[in-house]
């Protein structure tokens, strides 16, 4: 690697093996990385309007300097863009540009671009290689790692997707300097989640923000890597990553997505922490609430148990009459607890 900045390399061994490289300024090495992986090829790049305006010229310059011909497709920023219409238009764009199976796709943006780009890569010509270049904290620690790709359809978020691992994740932590503080905070909810579910030392490190971004992103990625290697197709342990999400998704949906994902997950984690002692597990609500408040999260839940239950009934993680909740045992150790959905309602009535 020509760049001398401190960087981390984390290797993932899943249905495809690949590296995740993390560092300040690591984007400068992307051309070199693409050469190592694919040699001479053409590149399709998917990005969104914000990321393109802020960083589009830089990435194009880096790839062009390495000898690559890049055809760029820009979607409007925002969750609404993670649609079947945009995916079809992008697939058509790649076909019009005559990309072949020996070419590759780069998803340059947050989770929306990463999810849409990954699914497009899995479908175009029955699968072409792709590289994730995450630009939000959430995408860096979560969506760019692990190969879940998806689009939203009118019936719900992420209902159409595939497991399709990238060939490389190139995470330049410097790109996050331009994030709006609210978007950065959303990512912090996921970072805190990793501490609660699997790493008390990480949790403790987060007590005094701002945290060292490279160290913390790398630790979160290692945790996700370990979980994905054990349960790539989400039949068991991967469920732990869902901590706070069952209730968070319900809150997000009830608010008609005016409450952001990170804020909703923060509220959802507190609800799960309140339910834990009702199931004989530890009481961590006070500590968790203090930390989340310190990061600026509003933890009030504006909905009733019954309203949330209605949404939870259509949760895609529900199996028959049962739902598996992720409940904290102690900080750094969460359990998967399966119970009848009616019991979830009873518990919810006690805590919201």
Ligand X SMILES: NC(=O)c1ccc[n+]([C@@H]2O[C@H](COP(=O)([O-])OP(=O)(O)OC[C@H]3O[C@@H](n4cnc5c(N)ncnc54)[C@H](O)[C@@H]3O)[C@@H](O)[C@H]2O)c1
> Counting contacts by CB under 6 A, is residue 47 touching ligand X?
no
Q: Which is nearer to ligand X, 129 or 187 (CB)?
A: 187
Provide the 3-class DSSP secondary structure of residue 337.
strand
164-193 positions binding ligand X, by CB under 6 A: 175-176, 178-179, 183, 186
Interface mask (CB under 6 A) for ligand X, residues 55-94, using x and -? ----------------------xxx--x------------
Q: Which is nearer to ligand X, 53 or 88 (CB)?
A: 53
- Distance, in Å, from the CA atom of 204 to the CA atom of 351, rounded to the nearest integer, reads 26
Tell the smallest beta-carbon distance from residue 158 to ligand X (Å): 5
Tell the smallest beta-carbon distance from residue 241 to ligand X (Å): 8
**Contact residue for ligand X among 158, 229, 307, 324 (CB under 6 A):** 158
98-157 positions binding ligand X, by CB under 6 A: 109-113, 115, 135-136, 138-139, 142-143, 146, 148, 157
Q: Which is nearer to ligand X, 78 or 209 (CB)?
A: 78
Tell the smallest beta-carbon distance from residue 105 to ligand X (Å): 15
190-249 positions binding ligand X, by CB under 6 A: none
> Counting contacts by CB under 6 A, is residue 12 touching ligand X?
no
Q: List, in sequence order, every beta strand (DSSP E) within the chain.
A: 7-13, 17-23, 42-48, 69-75, 104-109, 130-134, 148-153, 156-163, 168-172, 322-330, 333-340
CA dihedral 206, 212, 215, 219 (to 10 degrees): 20
Helices 261-275 & 245-254 angle (0-180, nearest 10)? 130
- Distance, in Å, from the CA atom of 186 to the CA atom of 188, rounded to the nearest integer, reads 5
CB count within 10 Å of CB 169 equals 25
- Residue 206 tokens read as 């987060």
Render the burial of 311-345: b for 16+ CB within 10 Å, e for the rest. bbeebeeeeeeebbbbbbbebbebeebebeeebbb
> Counting contacts by CB under 6 A, is residue 341 touching ligand X?
no
Tell the smallest beta-carbon distance from residue 202 to ligand X (Å): 18
The residue whose two tokens read 């890049």 is 70
Give me the residues paired with residue 132 across strands: 107, 169
H or E segment at 159? strand 156-163
Q: Which is nearer to ligand X, 240 or 305 (CB)?
A: 240
- Residues lying near ligand X in the complex (CB under 6 A) are found at 48, 50-51, 54, 77-79, 82, 109-113, 115, 135-136, 138-139, 142-143, 146, 148, 157-158, 175-176, 178-179, 183, 186, 261
């Amino acid at each position: 690697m020509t760049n001398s900045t401190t960087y981390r390399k984390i290797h993932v061994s899943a249905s495809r093996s690949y590296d995740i490289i993390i560092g300040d300024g690591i984007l400068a090495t992307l051309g070199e990385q693409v050469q190592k992986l694919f040699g001479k090829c053409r590149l399709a790049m998917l990005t969104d309007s914000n990321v393109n305006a802020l960083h589009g010229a830089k990435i194009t310059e880096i790839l062009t300097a390495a000898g690559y011909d890049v055809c760029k497709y820009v979607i409007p920023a925002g969750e609404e863009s993670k649609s079947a219409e945009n995916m079809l238009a992008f697939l058509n764009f790649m076909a019009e540009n005559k990309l072949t199976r020996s070419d590759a796709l780069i998803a340059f943006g947050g989770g929306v671009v990463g999810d849409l780009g990954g699914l497009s890569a899995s479908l175009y010509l029955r699968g072409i290689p792709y590289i994730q270049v995450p630009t939000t904290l959430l995408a860096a620690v979560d969506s760019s790692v692990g190969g879940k790709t998806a689009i939203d359809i009118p019936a719900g978020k992420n209902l159409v997707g595939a497991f399709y691992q990238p060939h490389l994740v190139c995470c330049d932590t410097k790109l996050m300097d331009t994030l709006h503080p609210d978007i950065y905070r959303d990512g912090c909810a996921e970072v805190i989640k990793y501490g609660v579910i699997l790493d008390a030392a990480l949790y403790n490190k987060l007590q005094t923000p701002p945290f060292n971004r490279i160290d913390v992103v790398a630790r979160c990625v290692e945790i996700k890597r370990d979980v994905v290697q054990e349960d790539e197709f989400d039949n068991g342990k991967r469920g732990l990553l869902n901590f706070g999400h069952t209730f968070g998704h319900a809150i997000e949906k009830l608010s008609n997505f005016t409450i952001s994902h990170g804020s909703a997950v923060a509220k959802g984690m507190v609800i799960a922490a309140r339910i834990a002692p009702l199931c004989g597990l530890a009481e961590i609500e006070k500590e968790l609430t203090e930390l989340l408040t310190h990061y600026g999260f509003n933890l009030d839940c504006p909905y009733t148990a019954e309203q949330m239950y209605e949404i939870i009934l259509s949760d895609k993680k529900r199996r028959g009459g049962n739902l598996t909740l992720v409940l904290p045992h102690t900080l750094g150790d969460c359990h998967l607890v399966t119970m009848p959905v009616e019991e979830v309602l009873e518990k919810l009535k006690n805590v919201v």
